[in-house]
Copies of this chain bind each other. A is one copy, B any other.
Amino acid sequence: MAITVVGSVAFDSIETPAGRRERCLGGAATYFSLAASFFTDVRVIAVVGEDFGKRQEAVFQARQIDTRGIEHTSGKSFFWEGSYLENLNEAKTHITDLNVFAAFEPKIPEAYSDSEFLFLANIDPVLQRRVREAMPQVKLVAGDTMNYWIKDHRPALLEVLNGLDILLINDTETRMLAGNSNLVQAARAVMALGPKTLVVKHGEYGATLFHKSAPKGKGAELRAPALPLEEVVDPTGAGDSFAGGFFGYLASQPEQTPAVFRRAMFYGSVMGSFACERFGTERLQQLSRKEIDDRFTLFRELTHLD
């Protein structure tokens, strides 16, 4: 089943202990789409400027991603510059230039209207809600957010959460959103705001799946590992790639059973681990389905007793 994703398509300048890259193709919707495209059809809604040309377009086309919803406008694309020199787990932001993103008004192509899956990447919750409302036919809606929206745009965010089936956020965001430092209690509080399912991402320590419908007293449903990597070249986009693998796998299955959710967690971890292996989206662009399946097997070996 096709996924529509709305979010940023951007250029990133990134510095890590492994080196520096100027103006890589980036943005949450880019990482998400590339990762999800190995599992199902993906359609993007975003806005870019005149600096987004044929080379960038070709990255999406090579993975058969539908870009008819990427609006081209005058000006420059969203630009982010950051570094991970001291801590690979947390980016230090140097520059955020919203550019054409500042006036982003998501437009949904008619051709996208039969999408049954919708992913609201981390953007202004007002826009997330607008897209959600414009696509009432979707069967399953997942989304992401960040500390900025949790702190300063809570009312708008709460309206989005109320309409979400699945929320994917990190530890800090979960605790901040719930105002509770215990992960299990915080997860329950976050799910009380709307999402039936919560995926808490722990960076290099993997991710935890929570279901609202779990029997009373039951905490987490599944803890998926991250792969301890020999070399983390660039962690940018790992969380969005996790979301793409997770939601892409979910959308590829005829039914979203508990067992499918569990496998989706592992596919999320697999795609997140690949994203870190090279700068920007380089590794996701070069990936094969066989590599994905082999790493899935490796994750199974890394966690299973027999």
**Which residues of A approach B to under 8 Å, CB–CB?**
17, 88, 181-185, 187, 202, 204-206, 208, 217, 219-223, 225, 227-232, 259, 262-263, 266, 300, 302-306
With A and B bound together, what is the CA distance between A227 and B222 in angstroms? Answer: 10
Determine if B182 and A231 form an interchain contact, defined as CB atoms under 8 angstroms apart: yes
By a CB distance below 8 angstroms, the chain B residues around A182 are 229-232
Q: Of B181, B183, B223, B228, which contacts A225 at CB under 8 A?
A: B223
**Copies per complex of this chain:** 2
The closest CB in chain B to the CB of A305 belongs to: B262
By a CB distance below 8 angstroms, the chain B residues around A227 are 219-220
Determine if A304 and B302 form an interchain contact, defined as CB atoms under 8 angstroms apart: no
By a CB distance below 8 angstroms, the chain B residues around A225 are 223, 225, 303
With A and B bound together, what is the CA distance between A266 and B303 in angstroms? Answer: 10
CB distance from A233 to the nearest CB of B (A): 11
Determine if B184 and A228 form an interchain contact, defined as CB atoms under 8 angstroms apart: yes
The closest CB in chain B to the CB of A210 belongs to: B228
Could you name 9 residue pairs across A and B whose Cβ atoms are closer than 8 Å?
Answer: A182-B231, A182-B232, A205-B206, A219-B230, A222-B303, A225-B225, A225-B303, A259-B306, A266-B305
Determine if A228 and B206 form an interchain contact, defined as CB atoms under 8 angstroms apart: no
The closest CB in chain B to the CB of A231 belongs to: B182
Determine if A302 and B222 form an interchain contact, defined as CB atoms under 8 angstroms apart: yes
Q: Of B202, B204, B304, which contacts A305 at CB under 8 A?
A: B304
CB distance from A15 to the nearest CB of B (A): 16
CB distance from A213 to the nearest CB of B (A): 16
By a CB distance below 8 angstroms, the chain B residues around A183 are 204, 228
Query: What 7 A-B pairs are tightest by C-beta distance, nearest first?
Result: A205-B205, A223-B225, A220-B228, A303-B303, A184-B230, A219-B228, A184-B228
Q: Most chain-B CB neighbours within 10 Å: which of A187, A219, A303?
A: A303
Determine if B88 and A181 form an interchain contact, defined as CB atoms under 8 angstroms apart: yes
With A and B bound together, what is the CA distance between A229 and B183 in angstroms? Answer: 8
By a CB distance below 8 angstroms, the chain B residues around A184 are 228-230
State whether A228 and B208 are in contact (beta carbons under 8 Å apart), knowing that A263-B305, A300-B305 are contacts in the complex: yes
Further 13 A-B residue pairs, CB within 8 A, beyond A182-B229, A205-B205: A182-B231, A185-B230, A187-B228, A205-B206, A206-B223, A219-B228, A220-B227, A221-B302, A222-B302, A223-B228, A223-B302, A259-B305, A304-B305
With A and B bound together, what is the CA distance between A262 and B185 in angstroms? Answer: 30
Q: Of B88, B205, B220, B263, which contacts A202 at CB under 8 A?
A: B205
The closest CB in chain B to the CB of A219 belongs to: B228
Q: Of B219, B220, B303, which contacts A304 at CB under 8 A?
A: B303
